[in-house]
Structures are given as C-alpha cells and as structure tokens.
C-alpha cells in the first residue's frame, strides 16, 4: 500500500522527536480538533531569565500527519524564545516536513495551536500577559470550547454540556449537565478549571454538576 505522505513525514511519524510528557511543566495545553475529534497535549519548560524553551514534549491522539507535525514543531521550538516560538506557523511546519496532503492541513494547524496555547499558559501563569482583557462569560465560553467532552468527542460547549456560566468579582461558577459521579465528571472538571484559573483576574473557579 502506498501512503500519500512523503519520506520526511513518514520518518517523523515512525520516530517522533520529543514524544512524551514533562512532570510539573512550566506550561502545558491540550487542544482538540473539531474537524476530527483528535487531541494533542504539549508540555514545555522555559528558562525564566532568557525565556528560552529549554525542554518540550508532546503527546498526540491524532493521525500520522499530526504526530509528524508535533515532532517537527517541537524541534523547531526547542531553543527558541517563547516570542520566537509563538511565530512558528503551520506552513513552516508543513514546509519543514516537505509538504502535507491538503486534507491533512487541519492536523498541523492543531499542533501549532497547541504549541501557542502552551506558551500562553506559561505566560498567564507567570504574569507575562500584556493584553489584560476582563474575564466575561464570553471569554469563559471561548475557553470551554477547548475542553473536550469525551462522551461525544467534541467540545463541551458544542455538545451542550455547559448549563450555566457566571462571572462575578473574579469568581467563576460553571454548571455542567452531568451527574457528579459520572465516569468523566472529574476529568472534565479539572480540564475546565485548568483552562480558566490562569486568567489574570480570576480568583476562584467552581465547577458543579446538575445531579
Ligand atoms: Fe485528526 Fe489528523 S485527522 S489530527
């Protein structure tokens, strides 16, 4: 069987660089693709003085193209400052891989978005965010669009898992339409908290369940 992938893509798919996770990373993110339901997690450590990415690892539940892009972007980002790494585009990643089939472009976009989200997570945790937008229900909704509902394989907003969101004086309350003892309740709750708690003006995040 011949694959529509070139040798570079296949080589990165078979021997991905920087695969795995980092324990207690300085920044991390998990992003899912609405196009295919796949997910990518990315972990990074940053030198606080130089803001250079000293270590970076990724895990992918995506296809060969996604794994190859994850591999190449970790290679491109390692040793770069966070500002330089933020500018890496999916086009650069695709070029470094010698090109990807057009139907697989969203897979490399997902990998790049995850890298940017992990950098953003580092910046938020370290007070490096310059654009301080007030947290509103819209901001929270946008963030929750990045939290997967594993029951459906799409995000928790699109699948109507969120019944209510309120934001007042830095306290965020989120009501989820699931029984508290559901097998995915804890995972969804911690993913949601992780996405919200780093916002600069958020003091507390409470996630409750309808039953
Ligand atoms: Fe889902 Fe490639 S098809 S990441």
- The CATH number of whichever domain residue 175 belongs to comes to 3.30.300.130
At residue 147 the predicted structure's pLDDT band, cuts being 50, 70 and 90, is confident
The rounded Å distance from CA 102 to ligand 1 centre is 12
Statement to judge: residues 40 and 85 lie in one domain: yes
Give mean pLDDT, residues 116-135.
91
**91 and 147 belong to one structural domain:** no
Task: Please state, in angstroms and as integers, the Cα–Cα distance from residue 163 to each residue in 72, 114, 141, following that order.
Answer: 39, 27, 11
107 flagged as catalytic: yes
Determine contact, residues 93/69, Cβ cutoff 8 Å: yes
First-last CA distance in the chain: 51
Q: Which segments within the chain are labelled E, that is strand? A: 27-32, 39-46, 53-60, 148-149, 154-155, 162-168, 171-176, 204-209
* Contact of 42 with 122, CB cutoff 8 Å: no
For the ranges 105-114, 133-142, 150-159, 195-204, the lowest mean pLDDT is seen at 150-159
Rounded to whole angstroms, the Cα distance separating 33 from 36 reads 6
Query: In terms of domains, do 166 and 93 share one?
Result: no
**How many domains would you assign to the chain?**
2
In a domain, 131, yes or no: no
pLDDT at 191 exceeding the cut of 80:
yes
Last residue of a domain, one of 91, 125, 159: 125
Catalytic-role residue among 67, 82, 107, 117: 107
98: left (phi over 0), alpha (psi -120 to 50) or beta: left
CA of 66 to the centre of ligand 1 (A): 6
Mutate which of 36, 69, 114 for ligand 1 pocket (most atoms within 8 A of beta carbon): 36
Distance 190 CA to ligand 1 centre (A): 25
Domain-embedded: residue 174: yes
pLDDT value for 1: 55
**Same-domain check for residues 17 and 108:** yes
Q: Is residue 92 part of a domain?
A: yes
Question: Distance between CA atoms of 45 and 41, rounded to whole angstroms?
Answer: 14
- Name the band, by pLDDT with cuts 50, 70 and 90, for residue 2: low
Same domain for 96 and 170: no
pTM of the model: 0.84
Q: Are residues 165 and 106 in the same domain?
A: no
Domain around 174: 137-209
Do 32 and 96 share a structural domain?
A: yes
Q: Is 63 a catalytic residue?
A: no
108 CA to centre of ligand 1 in angstroms: 8
pLDDT in tens, 67-96: 999 999 999 999 999 999 999 999 999 999
Are 33 and 112 within one domain?
Answer: yes
Q: Which of 3, 4, 65 to mutate to test the pocket of ligand 1 (most atoms within 8 A of CB)?
A: 65
**Same domain as 117, residue 85:** yes
Q: Do 177 and 150 fall into the same domain?
A: yes
Whether residue 153 sits in one domain with residue 80: no
Examine the domain organization and report whether 161 and 72 are in the same domain: no
């Amino acid at each position: 069987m011949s694959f529509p992938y070139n040798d570079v893509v296949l080589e990165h798919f078979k021997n991905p660089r920087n695969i795995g996770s980092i324990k207690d990373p300085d920044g991390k993110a998990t992003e899912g693709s609405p196009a295919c339901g796949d997910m990518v997690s990315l972990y990074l450590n940053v030198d606080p003085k130089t803001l250079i990415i000293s270590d970076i690892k990724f895990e992918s539940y995506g296809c060969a193209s996604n794994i190859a892009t994850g591999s190449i972007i970790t290679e491109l980002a390692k040793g770069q400052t966070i500002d330089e790494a933020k500018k890496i585009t999916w086009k650069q990643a695709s070029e470094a891989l010698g090109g990807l089939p057009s139907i697989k472009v969203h897979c490399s976009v997902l990998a790049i978005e995850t890298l940017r989200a992990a950098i953003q997570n580092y910046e938020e945790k370290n007070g490096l965010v310059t654009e301080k937008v007030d947290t509103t229900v819209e901001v929270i909704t946008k963030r929750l669009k990045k939290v997967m509902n594993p029951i459906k394989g799409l995000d928790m907003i699109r699948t109507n898992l969120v019944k209510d969101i309120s934001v007042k004086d830095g306290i965020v309350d989120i009501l989820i339409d699931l029984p508290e003892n559901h097998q995915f309740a804890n995972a969804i709750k911690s993913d949601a908290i992780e996405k919200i708690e780093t916002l600069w003006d958020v003091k507390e995040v409470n996630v409750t369940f309808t039953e």
